Amino acid sequence: MRSFDYFRANSIAEAVREASTEGTSYLAGGTNLVDLMKEDVERPSKIVDLNRLPLKKVERLQDGRLMIGALVTNADTAYHPEVTKHYPILASAILAGASPQLRNAATNGGNLNQRTRCYYFYDTATSCNKRQPGSGCGAIGGVNRHHAILGASEQCIATHPSDMCVALAVLDAQIHLSGPKNDRVVAIGDYHRLPGDEAWRDTVLESGELITAIELPAETFADHYTYLKLRDRLSYAFALVSVAVVMRMNSGGIEEARVALGGVAHKPWRKPESEVLLQGQPSERKFAEFADAILTGATGQGENNFKIPLARRAIVRACHQAASATPQSQNDKRIA
Amino acid sequence: MEWRTFPRGVTASPPLCSMPVLDPAGFFARRSCAHRRCLTVFVAMANRPPDPLYTCPSQFTEHFSQFFYPSQCYSLASRFGRETKKPMVMIELTINKHKHKLTVDPRTTLLDLLREEIELTGTKKGCDHGQCGACTVLIDGKRMNSCLQLAVSKDGSDITTIEGLAEGERLHALQVAFLRHDAFQCGYCTPGQICSALGMIQEKQANTREEVRELMSGNLCRCSASPNIIDAIMDVLTQDEQ
């Protein structure tokens, strides 16, 4: 690991001020950053430690919104009574990811900002536009079983590895940021970027900006939801394809449905304009129609071609699970 | 001559540094192991005069920092008369109920600190990337991978390692259960398994065998002792409930 200057911040203002130096990284749980520093992928010249900042609270506001601090750990979020009761899809998605030890250390802010697990991004002996802009993309035409089928560019076909963010996408979460110029709020759908010509930029976060909280709207979707994650191992593996579904149902069937996909693109993939296709009485045909709509334009890279039919079937199955209120268990991995 | 194996921190490119990997004096040689996960470093440390190749102290430190823990790196540097600037930070940790005041390089992981400075080598280094769970310890009561925690960021924390579980000669219930169920073969993953199991029991999220299996998935056993490990944990878990 390369040497760096270390600064422990005691307030948000102090952290943001200290981060104005070029080459500074924020450190929270460390589960991704420290690993990438060992791999020599991240080479910060300075680290601002956020662990003393007062961002560790989960708070329900008067109007029903839930504010989750950026430094609350993934485990504390998943097991928090407000989350398990009102936003079970978020708990389910978090518990589908990583290992218990990692979830105990990893924070929500860090989860949003985690980097891709693309092999080429990790291996400094290969080319990667995300790691070294302009060097090319080794994954295109290379080993790309895990890579994107949607929204990829000729510069980068990496996927976003988070499970939590897929649930946040269907919950319409808002990300609260503090920065050197001002504070702002960004919708989860706008927070992560597609690679385009700037593969090295994962998010819209500006230099020195800091996530302070994740805001969940008052609307809860506690009854009809599922997080279905398909992967090479049953536990402790990144998604090949994952599907988050929430539904609001009434006597006429599905009143509103939201679906997001993980493991298939540079960001959690949603197509809100197609979600109207799911309204009405639930049926296999309707789910399949929607799956075709959200997968419009899906392109395989060779080794990951299987993801397209897999995603289609996973969407149909997940919609069934949500509509019939039988969410996927993250302990019993049999798919109902 | 002594040899040490280190997890791969640096891959083939960029080159390890601008200086020759194998110096003409034979002072320092490097060889990659077959599976590319580690560098096997052969070091002859005793009684060598300072080598003229390493003239710049910062380069010297940078060079060695690729292979050694920072503390070793500095002691090597000072051994050969290279004074280097030490970006050290003072921290205080409670480890197995003992307070430690330490001065650490910010790069030091908690795992390396425990093993190399405190000399508590019960905590094991497996992958060094948070994937195998061999390094699991309890930090303020929560199980975490100590290989991914920078020691500086844990200032003020309360750490429990495998050495802190037994009370004198009296083994912890989990240690007894692991013995009774023959829950290991080579034993390398065992300290991590036991610390992780203790953390899991305290989390109170696992009740069934299925849940225990899922919530122990962060600890890998390559000797295929997992069924016995789960048996041992279930034993303690059901004892606790009674």
- The one-digit pLDDT tens for each residue of chain B (242 residues) are 333 334 444 333 333 333 333 333 333 433 332 223 333 333 333 334 444 333 333 444 445 555 555 555 555 555 554 444 557 999 999 999 999 999 999 999 999 999 999 999 999 999 999 999 999 999 999 999 999 999 999 999 999 999 999 999 999 999 999 999 999 999 999 999 999 999 999 999 999 999 999 999 999 999 999 999 999 999 999 987 76
**In-domain check, residue B84:** no
Do B104 and B137 belong together in one domain? yes
Do B156 and B180 belong together in one domain? no
The pLDDT of residue B28 is: 41
Residues 6 or more apart in contact with residue B150 via CB below 8 angstroms: A27, A30, A34, A47, B106, B107, B108, B109, B110
User: What is the phi/psi pair of residue A330, to 5°?
Assistant: -95, 0
Pair of tokens at residue A120 = 């080429």
The pLDDT of residue B26 is: 35
**Which chain B residues are Cβ-neighbours of A4 within 8 angstroms?**
87, 106-107
Pick from B153, B228, B169, B224: nearest CA to B194: B228
Nearest to A125 among B13, B210, B216 (CB): B13
CB A127 within 8 A of CB A243: no
State which of B164, B187, B203 marks the end of a domain.
Answer: B164
**CA distances for A198 relative to A134, A154, A205, A266, B168, angstroms:** 9, 11, 13, 12, 59
CB A78 within 8 A of CB A102: no
Q: Is B139 left (phi over 0), alpha (psi -120 to 50) or beta?
A: beta
Average pLDDT per block of 10 residues along chain A, 336 residues long: 94 96 96 97 97 97 97 98 97 98 98 97 97 97 97 98 98 97 97 97 96 96 97 95 98 97 98 98 97 98 98 98 96 86
The pLDDT of residue B31 is: 34
Cis peptide before B14 (omega within 30 of 0): yes
User: What is the phi/psi pair of residue B2, to 5°?
Assistant: -135, 155
**In-domain check, residue B220:** yes
Give the separation between CA A301 and CA A264, rounded to whole angstroms.
12
State which of B79, B106, B128 marks the end of a domain.
Answer: B79
**What three-state secondary structure class fits A79?**
coil
The pLDDT of residue B53 is: 38
Do B7 and B46 belong together in one domain? yes
Give the H/E segment covering residue A88.
Answer: helix A88-95
* Domain coverage including residue B30: 2-79
Task: Determine whether A308 is exposed, middle or buried from the number of CB atoms within 10 Å of its CB (0-12, 13-18, 19+).
Answer: middle
Do B117 and B145 belong together in one domain? yes
Do B71 and B123 belong together in one domain? no
Do B94 and B145 belong together in one domain? yes
| DSSP state string for B140-190 | TTEEEEGGGSBGGGGTT-EEE-GGGTSBTTB--HHHHHHHHTT--SS-SSH
State which of B144, B164, B184 marks the end of a domain.
Answer: B164
CATH classification at residue B228: 1.10.150.120
The pLDDT of residue B234 is: 98
Pair of tokens at residue A72 = 């609350």
Do B103 and B154 belong together in one domain? yes
Q: How many domains does chain B have?
A: 3
Give the separation between CA A142 and CA A306, rounded to whole angstroms.
16
Residues 158-217 of B with CB under 8 A from A: 196, 199-200, 203, 205, 208, 210-211, 213-217
Q: Which domains does chain A have, with CATH numbers?
A: 5-51 (3.30.43.10), 224-323 (3.30.390.50)
Do B14 and B62 belong together in one domain? yes
Do B107 and B138 belong together in one domain? yes
The pLDDT of residue A103 is: 98
Chain A positions contacting chain B at CB under 8 Å are 1-6, 8, 27, 30-31, 34-35, 38-40, 47, 49, 51, 75, 79, 98-102, 104-105, 123-125, 235-236, 330-332
pTM score: 0.86
